[in-house]
Amino acid sequence: MTIAVYGLGKMGLPLAAVFADHGANVIGVDINERVVEMVNKGENHVKEEPGLDELVRRNVEEGRLRATTDGVWAAKSADVMIILVPTLADDRGNLKLEPVYDVANKIAKGLEKGDIVITEATMPPGTTESLIPILEKSGLKLGEFGLAHAPERTMTGTAIRDITGQYPKIVGASDERTLEAVIGLYETINRKGVIPMSSIKAAEAVKVFEGVYRDVNIALANELALWCEEHGLDALEIFNAANTQPYCHLHMPGAGVGGHCIPVYPWFVISLAKKTNPRLIKTAREINDSMPHHIVELTIRGLNEVGKPLKGSNVLVLGLTFRGGVREFTKSPAIDVIKELKEWGARVFTYDPLCNEEDAKRFGAEWKEDFKDVDAIVIVTDHKEFKDLNLEEIAKQVRNRVIVDGRNILDPRKAEKLGFVYLRVGRVF
Ligand SMILES: NC(=O)c1ccc[n+]([C@@H]2O[C@H](COP(=O)([O-])OP(=O)(O)OC[C@H]3O[C@@H](n4cnc5c(N)ncnc54)[C@H](O)[C@@H]3O)[C@@H](O)[C@H]2O)c1
Ligand SMILES: CC(=O)N[C@@H]1[C@@H](OP(=O)(O)OP(=O)(O)OC[C@H]2O[C@@H](n3ccc(=O)[nH]c3=O)[C@H](O)[C@@H]2O)O[C@H](CO)[C@@H](O)[C@@H]1O
């Protein structure tokens, strides 16, 4: 079988390599020529994915995986075309699905009878079927080709593990025959099997709801944490105890919700609501987007404890990426934290193990690899490197000992024993 995967990014490249490794003849399609060039040389550009280097190298070498920028040729050559390009929303929640429609138009120029088109990118429910008129520009009618949605239930860092069988694959298709074919396709790579859904739209909703569940629950954690601050309680102490019974899954409060998934998927529901009013989901977005501001408030509070105004202080922001271990900046809380600290007149430095001086400049901060003359350390990304910070050493270097731990990764008692003013969302005493 020849499979074309459109989008060779953090999700598309692992998927393409896994299908090739299971014997399919895979054509990867990307608009980024550097990506195409690297893949054809057997190189992997998704550095955060353990095992992907070898998987790409071996399958390119053995001729099962190749890449091209020519999406029409790929469609002509392939039996199955999988769309795994970005599906985003802007800060006001307007959907940005151009990449999906661009790919659909290219596929239409190469679609042949009996082909199957699968969307794996997370889709606002109904979007996959909105591609039908575009695909029918091929001259074929739906039924002469199959259409399905099979969302990627994984995350960067565990993509190969998840694609090959951490959770069952969700599939919805345009007709029984297509459903059967697509189930067969994913059963070859996913040992956890497939959950067939009653429709394409139902399958799209599964993935979107998983993300909305997470965003709303993070907002609940943040709201309860703010309440704990008011009442002199330690939110995490309470959440950890509450979560010891199986009906409570309080998430982690923190600096905010970044990435191109969790802060985006709620807009897929909000933007499609005509009669209902998803006010819980909208409010959750507002709460989560207010957390970077709260981190700045905690920084002001911490500096007050040492008699320093934020204005003129040296603040070191640890972390630029939206979460630990992934070099991805989409809607990273660090963007707003740095911007507001500067508005208050602080001098803002930054360090991130996955970034460099160029990235720091783009964020408007100064790159700094030590702790000299720092008045406050603000952690906004949970990189594992920050979990092992040598606080004894740092206590000697900083000018003032203030830590705002926006990702709850340090031990408060240890920091306080070393004379730090330690604050985190949900614990300000
Ligand atoms: N990253 C995750 O953790 C994750 C997890 C599950 C689902 N998803 C979903 O997977 C989809 C892809 O996300 P990603 O993280 O792989 O994105 P990414 O930005 O890492 O990769 C996207 C790739 O698509 C390419 N591309 C963009 N427009 C294109 C076009 N018109 N034609 C061909 N290629 C094009 C880009 O050059 C890039 O290489 C999104 O819908 C996302 O919601 C992501
Ligand atoms: C793990 C999960 O169920 N979903 C995953 C998620 O992957 P992701 O890469 O977006 O990472 P997340 O871990 O969700 O983090 C998003 C942001 O929320 C912050 N956060 C997180 C947890 C918390 O309790 N408190 C927080 O504040 C965190 O710092 C970061 O900024 O979406 C993918 C795409 O669909 C899913 O496929 C994938 O399974």
For 332-376, the pLDDT digits (tens) are: 999 999 999 999 999 999 999 999 999 999 999 999 999 999 999
**CB of 349 shorter than 6 A to ligand 2:** no
E-only strand ranges, 160-231: 169-173, 194-196
Whether residues 192 and 218 fall in one domain: no
Q: Which pLDDT tens digit goes with each residue over 104-132?
A: 999 999 999 999 999 999 999 999 999 99
Do both 41 and 144 map to the same domain? yes
Degrees to nearest 5, angle at CA 22 with 20 and 28: 15
Mean predicted confidence (pLDDT) in 272-295: 97
**Within this chain, do residues 259 and 187 fall inside the same structural domain, yes or no?**
no
The last residue of one of the domains, among 142, 177, 198, is 198
Which pLDDT belongs to residue 92?
Answer: 84
List the structure tokens of 122.
């997370």
Question: What is the rounded average pLDDT of the residues 322-330?
Answer: 95
Question: What's the average model confidence in pLDDT over 23-46?
Answer: 98
Look at 429 and 392; give whichever has higher pLDDT: 392
Please name the residue that has the structure tokens 């992997």. 44
Mean local confidence (pLDDT), 67-93: 95
220 lines ligand 2 (CB under 6 A): no
Collapsing DSSP to helix, strand or coil, 288 comes out as helix
Annotation says 261 is catalytic:
yes
Same domain, yes or no, for 176 and 149? yes
pLDDT at residue 93 is higher than 90: no
Residue-averaged pLDDT of the chain = 97
Ligand 1 atom 29 nearest Cα = 99
Q: Which ligand is nearest to the CA of 380?
A: 2
Mutate to test the pocket of ligand 2, among 214, 328, 386, 408 (most ligand atoms within 8 A of CB): 214
Measure CA 289 to chain center: 16
Q: Which atom of ligand 2 is nearest to the CA of 252?
A: 24
Single residue among 198, 225, 242 that ends a domain in this structure: 198
pTM: 0.96
Residues 130 and 235 in one domain: no
Please give the pLDDT value at position 384: 97
pLDDT at 90: 87
List the single range of 86-100, 241-255, 276-290 with lowest mean pLDDT: 86-100
Q: Are residues 115 and 154 in the same domain?
A: yes
| pLDDT tens-digit series, residues 240-262 | 999 999 999 999 999 999 999 99
| Co-location of 107 and 191 in the same domain | yes
pLDDT score, position 44? 98
How would you label 94-122 residue by residue, b for 16+ Cβ within 10 Å and e otherwise? ebebebbeebbebbbebbeeebbbbbbbb
* Amino acid, single-letter form, for residue 239: F
Range of the domain at 63: 2-198
143 and 226 belong to one structural domain: no
- Which of 10, 228, 261, 355 is the catalytic position? 261
Q: Are residues 224 and 276 in the same domain?
A: yes
CATH number (domain holding residue 24): 3.40.50.720
Other CB atoms closer than 10 Å to residue 424's CB: what's the count? Answer: 27
89 Cα to the center of ligand 1, angstroms:
13
User: Of 135, 165, 198, which residue constitutes the final position of a domain?
Assistant: 198
Q: Is the pLDDT of residue 330 over 90?
A: yes
> Which of the four pLDDT bands, split at 50, 70 and 90, describes residue 303?
very high
Domain count, the chain: 2
Q: Is the pLDDT of residue 91 over 90?
A: no
170 and 230 together in one domain: no
Count CB atoms within 10 A of the CB of residue 140.
16
Whether residue 153 sits in one domain with residue 35: yes
Q: From residue 15, how far is each of 29, 170, 220 by CA, in Å? A: 12, 15, 34
Ligand 1, atom nearest to 122 Cα? 41
User: Are 178 and 247 in the same domain?
Assistant: no
Q: Please indicate whether residue 408, judged by its CB atom, sits closer than 6 Å to ligand 2.
A: no
Helix extents (H) in 279-411: 279-289, 291-305, 333-343, 357-363, 384-387, 391-397
Q: How far is CA 283 from CA 88, 154, 163, 183, 209, in A?
A: 20, 26, 33, 38, 16
Interval between CA 392 and ligand 2 midpoint (Å) = 31
Q: Is the pLDDT of residue 407 over 90?
A: yes
The pair phi, psi for residue 288, each rounded to 5°, is -65, -35
Q: Which atom of ligand 2 is nearest to the CA of 254?
A: 27
Q: Ligand 1 center to residue 252 CA distance, Å?
A: 26
- Residue range 214-227: average pLDDT? 98
